[in-house]
């Protein structure tokens, strides 16, 4: 009887993994002695927008990078739409942190967006007019069409972030993973980005965002994943984004101003 229940439980869990655009099991990542992410399970819901929330150094970006195979986990499994990550790379688009690259690199805006077509073009595939047209269209969707021939170093922070988003759009993926896309951008860019992300959701795509601004979580997202090295809570914003869970994730690290702000947001 117990065995049957256990088997049943296993089956249900596997079903959840099968449906999930991104399912992580027992993921542990360490850069040195101390783990940055410890034994984390995460099951992203399809067709929704999920925020990964947690204090600085809680392992938010590391979780994303490990899920993408950018950093090597010590242990754990990652499945993308129920299959191993390596088989599903074409279905994933990724927007790294803006500060992670050198914006003095000698390249133009359009070239960065075209990088999103690498899997299609391959090593020597010919770059055709339709590829360029697609890249320009992606730039138009983030309001950067007129900047196509600019050197990327000439852009503002918000414009750089939009170019990164355009590159992800060019990937035409089913799962979009964004690392702090709203960090240090102007209000107009934040609005533009969230509009694009919501349009992706409307089109049935799944969006996961490492997010730092607690005040906008309820406005922007359907689901929330709270992390502080370990998983704290996961679920729909209404049920999961509670003062108790936040207290558990942030501990004493929430500034008074943030607590006040949250009290207003959460009522």
Partner 1 sequence: MSGSEFVPLSLTPLLIGILSAVACALPGNFLVLRRQALIGDAISHVVLPGIVVAFLLTGVIAAWPMMLGAAGAAVVAVVLIEAIRRLGRIEPGAAMGVVFTTMFAAGVLLLEQTDTSTVHLDVEHALYGNLESLIWLDATGWASLVDPVALAGLPVELPRILVTLAGVSGFIWLFWRPLKLSTFDEGFARTLGIRTGHLGLALVIVAAVAAVAAFDAVGSIIVIAMFICPPAAARMMTNTLEGQVGWSVVFAILSAVLGYVLAGYGPLWLGAHDAVSAAGMIATMSGLILALAARFGPCRSRTGAPVQS
d(C-alpha 42, C-alpha 53), whole Å:
13
d(C-alpha 226, C-alpha 241), whole Å:
8
- Torsion angles phi and psi, residue 49, rounded to 5: -105, 125
Residue with tokens 């990164």: 164
3-state class (DSSP) for residue 95:
strand
When asked if residue 89 is in the footprint of partner 1 (CB under 8 A), the reply is yes
**Residues, the chain:** 267
When asked if residue 103 is in the footprint of partner 1 (CB under 8 A), the reply is yes
When asked if residue 70 is in the footprint of partner 1 (CB under 8 A), the reply is yes
Tokens of 88: 């599903």
When asked if residue 151 is in the footprint of partner 1 (CB under 8 A), the reply is yes
When asked if residue 154 is in the footprint of partner 1 (CB under 8 A), the reply is yes
Please say which residue, 61 or 228, places its beta carbon nearer to partner 1. 61
Please say which residue, 26 or 153, places its beta carbon nearer to partner 1. 153
When asked if residue 83 is in the footprint of partner 1 (CB under 8 A), the reply is no
Q: Which stretch binds partner 1 (CB under 8 A): 41-49, 84-92, 182-190, 229-237?
A: 84-92
Beta strand spans in 54-171 (E):
75-80, 83-84, 92-95
Kindly determine how many residues on this chain lie close enough to bind partner 1 according to the rule CB under 8 A. Answer: 33
Please say which residue, 106 or 204, places its beta carbon nearer to partner 1. 106
When asked if residue 33 is in the footprint of partner 1 (CB under 8 A), the reply is no
Query: Kind and range of the H or E element at 206?
Result: strand 206-210
In the complex, minimum distance from the CB of residue 15 to partner 1, in angstroms, rounded to a whole number: 27
Strands 75-80 and 83-84, how do they pair? antiparallel
DSSP lists the bridge partners of residue 231 as: 227
When asked if residue 112 is in the footprint of partner 1 (CB under 8 A), the reply is yes
When asked if residue 86 is in the footprint of partner 1 (CB under 8 A), the reply is yes
When asked if residue 115 is in the footprint of partner 1 (CB under 8 A), the reply is yes
- Torsion angles phi and psi, residue 236, rounded to 5: -60, 145
Please say which residue, 35 or 237, places its beta carbon nearer to partner 1. 35
Cβ atoms of 181 and 96 closer than 8 Å: no
Residues in the site for partner 1, rule: CB under 8 A? 65, 68-70, 86, 89, 92, 94, 96, 100-108, 111-112, 115, 118-119, 121-124, 151-155, 167
């Amino acid at each position: 009887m117990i065995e049957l229940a256990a088997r049943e439980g296993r089956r249900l869990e596997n079903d959840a993994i099968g449906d999930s655009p991104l399912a992580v099991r027992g993921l542990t990542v360490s850069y040195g002695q101390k783990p940055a992410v410890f034994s984390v399970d995460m099951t992203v819901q399809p067709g929704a927008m999920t925020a990964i929330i947690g204090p600085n150094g809680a392992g938010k970006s590391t979780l994303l990078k490990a899920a993408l195979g950018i950093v090597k986990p010590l242990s754990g499994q990652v499945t993308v739409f129920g299959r191993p990550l390596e088989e599903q790379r074409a279905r994933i688009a990724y927007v790294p942190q803006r500060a992670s690259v050198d914006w003095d690199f000698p390249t133009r805006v359009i070239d960065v967006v075209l990088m999103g077509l690498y899997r299609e073009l391959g090593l020597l595939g010919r770059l055709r007019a339709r590829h360029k047209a697609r890249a320009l269209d992606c730039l138009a969707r983030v309001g950067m069409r007129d900047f196509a021939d600019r050197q990327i170093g000439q852009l503002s922070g918000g414009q750089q972030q939009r170019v990164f988003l355009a590159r992800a759009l060019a990937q035409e993926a089913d799962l979009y993973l964004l690392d702090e896309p709203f960090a240090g951008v102007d209000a107009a860019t934040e609005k533009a980005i969230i509009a694009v992300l919501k349009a992706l959701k409307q089109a049935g795509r799944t969006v996961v965002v490492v997010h730092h601004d607690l005040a906008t979580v309820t406005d922007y997202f359907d689901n929330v994943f709270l992390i502080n090295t370990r998983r704290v809570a996961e679920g729909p914003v209404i049920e999961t984004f509670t003062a108790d869970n936040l207290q558990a994730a942030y501990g004493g690290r929430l500034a008074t101003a943030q607590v006040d702000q949250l009290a207003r947001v959460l009522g």
